[in-house]
Amino acid sequence: MPIWQVLSDVEDPEIPVISVVDLGIVREVDTARRRVVITPTYTGCPATRVIEQDIRAALDSAGYRDWTIATALSPAWTTDWISADGRRKLLAYGIAPPVPAGERAVHCPQCGSGATEEISRFGSTPCKALWRCRDCAEPFDLFKCH
């Protein structure tokens, strides 16, 4: 199986509908040096180590045992690195994707309404804030723009 395909099958441990490739965690696949370069999303994200272990396990079982995994901090990961496909998957899963800079409106992933408000700037994981829809009254997670 091509290595990009292997990586595309590795799910984020907190948001299992989206892969580490969709999230932009895989920064580079360096065939010459046989290594995968990954980047942490949030400095304190406890899932970072799990993600690395999951990638290791996937590489091993697909026969990429001699490949190494390197971590690069800079340039810092931003939510702009989440793919269009990834954003669509987040929305379908009930997490509002990050709002690009310049846009203010956060739309409710349940009913699509733009009448939303922040409940808590920090949510259930470091990457999410807790929001609420004023129309359908459902609380929802917003992937923080970062």
Do residues 128 and 95 lie in contact, with contact meaning Cβ atoms separated by under 8 Å?
yes
Under the criterion CB under 8 A, does residue 44 sit at the interface with other proteins?
yes
Q: What number of CA atoms fall less than 13 Å from residue 28's CA on the CB side? A: 16
Exactly one of 57, 88, 114, 122 binds other proteins (CB under 8 A); that residue is 122
- Stretch in the footprint of other proteins (CB under 8 A) among 13-21, 97-105, 108-116, 120-128: 120-128
Do residues 133 and 115 lie in contact, with contact meaning Cβ atoms separated by under 8 Å?
yes
Exactly one of 27, 35, 56, 146 binds other proteins (CB under 8 A); that residue is 146
Do residues 38 and 5 lie in contact, with contact meaning Cβ atoms separated by under 8 Å?
no
Under the criterion CB under 8 A, does residue 121 sit at the interface with other proteins?
yes
Q: What number of CA atoms fall less than 13 Å from residue 133's CA on the CB side? A: 18
- Stretch in the footprint of other proteins (CB under 8 A) among 22-30, 51-59, 70-78, 80-88: 70-78
Q: Which residues bind other proteins (CB under 8 A)?
A: 40, 42-46, 73-77, 119-124, 126, 130, 146
